[in-house]
Homo-oligomer: A and B are copies of this chain.
Amino acid sequence: MIDLKEITSELSVNLKRHLGQILPHHAISEIYEYALFPTGKLFRPLLVYAIGRDFKRSGWQGNIIGPQSDFSYLASAVEMHHAYTLIHDDLPAMDNDDYRRGKLTVHKKYNEWKALLVGDGLCVGPFALLSQIKSPAFPDVLKFFSWALGPKGLILGQVLDLSEEMNHSFVNLITTHRLKTARLIQTAIVGSYLLTLDEKKDDRKQKYRECRDLYKLGDAMGVSFQLLDDLTELAELKITEREQKINPWLRHSDEALQTLLHYMQIIKKITSTYNGMPTFSLVLDDYLSKIKKILNEGSVNIERHLPKKEALVPIMGLFDGIHQR
């Protein structure tokens, strides 16, 4: 039986070790550590672990979570890259946020140029970790990583967000979620899958189908999780004017519901195709049970904010079979 808490703690230890490998002996290193620790829930590294475990080739004897395993380098690289995007997003020129995960943002705690440079360091650093991957899939992992998180990917998502193009239409909103949220999840999932491949033994057709399915899975997760996240914003008694203006559940409630149901369906379908993907499902259920709890507790407020009556009913139905933790 897998203990997600234990795995998370091992992923955190690896992250600390990998960070140490790329940092200089200089006071600036404290800020890199401040930006990464204490960690969040390490959702993306957990996905790397889960996909590695669910798709590893029979007979493969490695330890997925060993600090020198290919999967561990990818897990830490994805988390560091995520951290860089948050540091830059929080800067005054972008979202201008003072707090992140209950503590001061990097530029508030230190200053702007330090936040900018530590962000840059956490953007370049992950590639030093990736360069230690031994799998023959390494060039493909790098290709996917730099495409998904580059100018056509995550960074374009940030552009759509900051330029407010995101709020011009529901389609634009979904595109933004796809780029800004899904691409990092896809990097974790598809990247980890690529690392399970054994170039010689694998059937190319099957490989292609699996890869495409996991790409779709990550896409569906990114979009539906963001929509769920938008919904949890309505759990408050009063919602901000900003939220009134941009929350898709207030502006496009029917489309938001249909889209959420559609993508949650895709997640269920792909998961069941591959023997239920037991480790992945554990990570997914853990995430969804937390969302379920927030929605349950805020249901009165949410129902009041939503334009239609009983609009939460079909959404809560999505969580059937996920027990509350």
- Which residues of A are in contact with B by a Cβ distance under 8 Å? 22-24, 26, 28-29, 32, 88, 91, 93-94, 111-117, 120-125, 127-128, 130-132, 138-139, 142-143, 145-147, 149-152, 155-156, 158-159, 162
Contacts and interface: CB of A to CB of B under 8 A. Distances in A.
How many copies altogether?
Answer: 2
A32 B159 CA distance: 13
Contacts of A125: 146, 150-151
A149 B123 CA distance: 11
B113 A128 contact: no
A65 to B, nearest CB: 23
Given A128-B146, A151-B24, A91 B116 contact: yes
B88 A155 contact: no
A94 B121 contact: no
B155 A121 contact: yes
For the complex of A and B, the 9 pairs showing the least CB-CB separation, nearest first, are A93-B112, A121-B151, A128-B146, A127-B146, A124-B150, A131-B142, A131-B143, A24-B152, A93-B113
A159 B117 contact: yes
Contacts of A124: 123, 146, 149-151, 155
A28 B159 contact: yes
A168 to B, nearest CB: 13
A23 B88 CA distance: 20
A128 B29 CA distance: 27
A23 B151 CA distance: 6
A116 B22 CA distance: 23
A123 B26 CA distance: 23
Contacts of A26: 156, 159
A130 B128 CA distance: 13
A145 to B, nearest CB: 7
For A114, A128, A145, A156, the residue with the greatest tally of chain B CB atoms inside 10 Å of its CB is A128
A116 B142 contact: no
Given A128-B146, A131-B142, A146-B128, A117 B155 contact: yes
A130 B132 CA distance: 15
A103 to B, nearest CB: 21
Contacts of A138: 139
Given A93-B113, A150-B22, A155-B117, A142 B130 contact: yes
A94 B116 contact: yes
22 contacts: A22-B150, A23-B152, A24-B152, A26-B156, A28-B151, A32-B151, A91-B116, A93-B116, A94-B113, A117-B159, A120-B155, A121-B155, A122-B151, A124-B146, A124-B155, A125-B146, A127-B127, A127-B142, A128-B147, A130-B146, A131-B146, A138-B139
